[in-house]
Structure 1
Amino acid sequence: MSSSQASFQQAPIGVGIVGLSARRGWASRAHLPALQRLDGFELRALSASSPESARQAAEKYAVARSYGTADELAAADEVDLVVVTVKVPNHREIIQSALAAGKAVLSEWPLGNGLAEAEELAATAAERGLRTFTGLQARSAPAVRYLRDLVADGYVGEVLSTSVVASGGSWGALFPEGGAYLLDRANGATMLTIPFGHTLDGLTMVLGNVEEVTTVTATRHREVQDPQTGRVFRPNVADQVVLGGVLSSGAVVSVHYRGGLSRGTNFHWEINGTDGDLVVTGDTGHLQMGEFSIDGAHGSDAKLSRLAVPERYFDPALNELRGTPAYNVGAAYAQIQRDLTDGSSDVPDFAHAARHHRLLDRIERAAERV
């Protein structure tokens, strides 16, 4: 047993969240409900955009300690795991501070604002020998894990091809909440990096790595108006992403993401093989947090039928969170607890995140050559 593993043998694991706000945000919608239902963790500290914001959040959520800066939180003795839930451009500085303090880190995806930052953070974590985790929680979703096992167990035979058509939700005609941040490519929070990136990571978990890529991207919504202020924004991010490629198995892959929402299909993923077919459907292109159904047919089956995800894929401690964005985050935390106490590596670490950033960078560069 390594010294870092031994330090997590005594539960609960002390968590400090950077970016937990009393007003709104992903941390309060997903991380907080998940941690409240898992015995292996204790939320001991938080920091927010200012000391006063942190104090208000600590008061609202009954968190013992609030800190005015992420540096102070990372240095606190009661914090074992630093959780980074702020906007992407702020990830690098906060994560480097946590790593310098010798802490394990869970960072929301994307890990860095671009490939260079992700590779730097992965290298720093490796040099210091610290445990790291990335919020690619589609891998923790019961439906995705079940789908992986169906394919591995030969439900469709040899996979011939797979295709995804999905909607990004934001990046359409309507101005999204926090919209200006999402419409500037310089912020690293785009349709390519978020819903496309999460879903592609889930796809590779099920079917294997993407080896060859061709890409077309476009910005079709050239102006988006903020309904509150009337201000008009001109996005410089792609709201159409089309990937064609080949997986390591030789199977052909195609993925088309469209900005906004469709009156027709918002998520449709087919896996076609020599002996069967699987179809995954849902109402959002965010595989990491939506609700999805699986239908399948194989062998002599004449038509598709619903394949319910078996109960063994669900964590009973998180039953109250089923159907909410917090469930997959909670499932990832449960895996993190096992990784920290048993020395396993189920949750994607920073090295995995850097590899996924490299794939997205290849996809972007391929589009530039078209």
Structure 2
Amino acid sequence: MAQPSSKSKAPIRAGFIGLSSTGWAAHALFPSLRAPAVRDLYTITALCTSSPTSAAAAAAHYGHRIGSRIKSFHGPDGVKQLAVDREVDLVVVSVKAPAHRTPILAAISAGKDVFAEWPIGTSLEQMEEIEKRAEEKGVTVIVGLQGRQSVAVTKAKELIQRGAIGKVLSSSLICTVPRELEYWGPVIAENHLYIHEPNTGASLLEIMVGHQLDTFTHILGDFRSVSATWATMYPIATVLSSPPNHSPGNDGAPRTVQVSTADHVAVSSMLASGAIVSIICRGGYAETPGRQRLLWEIDGEEGSIRLEGNGPGVEGPLIHMHDPDLYLNGKKVLAERPGEKADGIDDGSEVEPRHLLRNEVVGWLEYAKEKRGEVEKGKFVRIREAVKNRRLIKAIEDSAKGGHRVDLGDRRNSAVRL
């Protein structure tokens, strides 16, 4: 097998499925692997795109950037060829959620570790299948839930664990996804339309609330039950082409689509600890002065913690992409990683914007430490934890659809009619 041993100091050889000139792989995954903190720990040896032309162009472009040859594959056969290639240790899957299953299972079948962005696949059932296959093959599936790696989140968890605010009694989180992102609301970018189709695994609940839930439970623990409500406040949306121009219909008017997926989700719950919590995620509001993008309050018997995501750029509410400001009892806490400047995570050379990518860098670093035998278990999200998060999302979905509370005592969620 091509994978290095757990004690190997050789660079981890990554093969990308979905690395082209645009998309998440181009804007986040590739540049984060080039950050000085991890640059010597990884090398990119192969990539696969949909066509021979795009694959050859991408291999030439990124090969020039890293200074070494990158093999190019394309199409469904290329996915299989990359997965079994002896010069690939880690398969990085960066395609849309509906296309996750095939390349992930191909990599697992080849005995390769996998990285894939959240959400994985289109359903809980697909994630459970991937988890089972990974366990059978003894491989690691890393999931891109980067909120846990935020310095502010890490510090908040530390403060709670050392009793800085006493026993946590309640928590509330408000997340606003601005319409300027063109995902949910009265305007939708043409290349985002797929998230509003049925069974794509990419709804507001699955993407946005899913990221928030993983971070929420990482700090505060598991949910005991959930009661949820959702709504579509913007049932008609104008489709914007890229670059931003109205995509005209046959009569020359801007193209519009009917939207049935929820752009507002509210959850009221009790945690296993007994704390009462609420979460509301809303999409489509205009960026106006004073509007909170992310406001997360955690109240304990002896104090409170507040996280605010209102920095520059519309990514403010995305806790996995932008470190929120952290306050303890109303006073701002400076949360920085030790030696952050020195380790190159924030050097600004290829890793911009810094908040967006440095959480990715931490994940790469933790995985490399584990593979090199420097730690027993790296601090990154694995498929088992991601499946647990997806089960919570399914419970919220069932509650919103059925109008009942869902208890989470075991894997078989039991509904309690209100």
**CA 1:5 to 1:143, structure 2 compared with 1: closer, same or farther past 3 Å?**
farther
Report what 2:145 is aligned to: 136
Aligned equivalent of 1:311, options 332, 337, 342: 337
Aligned equivalent of 1:288, options 296, 317, 320: 320
Tell me the CA shift for residue 368 of structure 1. Answer: 1.1
Q: Is the 8 A contact 1:158 1:273 kept in 2?
A: yes
Partners in 2 of 1:19 and 1:181 — Cα distance? 17
Report what 2:9 is aligned to: 10
Aligned equivalent of 1:27, options 25, 28, 31: 25
Report what 2:406 is aligned to: none
Aligned equivalent of 1:174, options 173, 180, 187: 187
- TM-score under structure 2 normalisation? 0.83
Aligned equivalent of 1:368, options 395, 401, 405: 401
Report what 2:58 is aligned to: 57
Q: Is the 8 A contact 2:124 2:391 kept in 1?
A: yes
Q: Runs of 5+ in structure 1 lacking a partner?
A: 298-303
Q: Is the 8 A contact 2:123 2:201 kept in 1?
A: yes
Report what 1:97 is aligned to: 106
Tell me the CA shift for residue 76 of structure 1. Answer: 0.9
What SS does the corresponding residue of 1:186 show, helix, strand or coil?
A: coil
**CA 1:240 to 1:282, structure 2 compared with 1: closer, same or farther past 3 Å?**
same
Q: Is the 8 A contact 1:332 1:347 kept in 2?
A: yes
Letter of the 2:299 counterpart: N
Q: Is the 8 A contact 2:168 2:300 kept in 1?
A: yes
- TM-score under structure 1 normalisation? 0.93
Tell me the CA shift for residue 282 of structure 1. Answer: 0.9
Tell me the CA shift for residue 7 of structure 1. Answer: 4.9
Of 338-347 and 81-90, the range deviating more from structure 2: 338-347
Tell me the CA shift for residue 232 of structure 1. Answer: 1.5
Is residue 183 of structure 1 aligned with residue 196 of structure 2? yes
Q: Could you list the per-position Cα deviations for residues 42-99 of structure 1 after superposition, in whole angstroms to 9, with x for gaps in the alignment?
A: 1111111222111111111115211112111111111100011100011011101001
Partners in 2 of 1:127 and 1:117 — Cα distance? 15
Q: Is the 8 A contact 1:122 1:351 kept in 2?
A: yes
Aligned equivalent of 2:371, options 340, 343, 351: 340
Tell me the CA shift for residue 312 of structure 1. Answer: 2.1
Q: Could you list the per-position Cα deviations for residues 256-293 of structure 1 after superposition, in whole angstroms to 9, with x for gaps in the alignment?
A: 00012452111100001101111111133211102310
**CA 1:188 to 1:295, structure 2 compared with 1: closer, same or farther past 3 Å?**
same
Letter of the 2:176 counterpart: S
Report what 1:351 is aligned to: 384
Report what 2:295 is aligned to: 268
Detail structure 1 runs of 4+ shifted over 4 Å in the superposition: none
Of 163-172 and 192-201, the range deviating more from structure 2: 163-172
What SS does the corresponding residue of 1:249 show, helix, strand or coil?
A: coil
Letter of the 2:369 counterpart: R
Q: Is the 8 A contact 2:177 2:282 kept in 1?
A: yes
Is residue 200 of structure 1 aligned with residue 213 of structure 2? yes
Q: Is the 8 A contact 1:166 1:266 kept in 2?
A: yes
Is residue 234 of structure 1 aligned with residue 265 of structure 2? no
Tell me the CA shift for residue 150 of structure 1. Answer: 1.1
What SS does the corresponding residue of 2:8 show, helix, strand or coil?
A: coil
What SS does the corresponding residue of 1:187 show, helix, strand or coil?
A: coil
Letter of the 1:275 counterpart: E
Q: Could you list the per-position Cα deviations for residues 134-184 of structure 1 after superposition, in whole angstroms to 9, with x for gaps in the alignment?
A: 111111111111111111111111001010111134311221362211222
Report what 1:218 is aligned to: 231
Partners in 2 of 1:313 and 1:111 — Cα distance? 33
Tell me the CA shift for residue 336 of structure 1. Answer: 1.1
Tell me the CA shift for residue 231 of structure 1. Answer: 2.3
Q: Is the 8 A contact 1:174 1:224 kept in 2?
A: yes
Q: Is the 8 A contact 2:131 2:384 kept in 1?
A: yes
Q: Could you list the per-position Cα deviations for residues 90-143 of structure 1 after superposition, in whole angstroms to 9, with x for gaps in the alignment?
A: 101110100111100011111121111000000000011111211111111111
Q: Is the 8 A contact 1:14 1:43 kept in 2?
A: yes
Q: Is the 8 A contact 2:4 2:89 kept in 1?
A: no
What SS does the corresponding residue of 1:151 show, helix, strand or coil?
A: helix
Report what 2:362 is aligned to: 331
Report what 2:49 is aligned to: 48
RMSD: 1.8
What SS does the corresponding residue of 1:33 show, helix, strand or coil?
A: helix
Q: Is the 8 A contact 2:213 2:389 kept in 1?
A: no
What SS does the corresponding residue of 1:130 show, helix, strand or coil?
A: coil
Partners in 1 of 2:354 and 2:190 — Cα distance? 21
Matched residues, percent identical?
A: 32
Report what 1:301 is aligned to: none
What SS does the corresponding residue of 2:299 show, helix, strand or coil?
A: strand
Partners in 2 of 1:106 and 1:309 — Cα distance? 27
Aligned residues: 361
What SS does the corresponding residue of 1:221 show, helix, strand or coil?
A: coil
Letter of the 2:271 counterpart: L
Q: Is the 8 A contact 1:210 1:247 kept in 2?
A: yes
Tell me the CA shift for residue 4 of structure 1. Answer: 7.3
What SS does the corresponding residue of 2:187 show, helix, strand or coil?
A: coil
Q: Could you list the per-position Cα deviations for residues 318-349 of structure 1 after superposition, in whole angstroms to 9, with x for gaps in the alignment?
A: 12236342211111111111222234142111
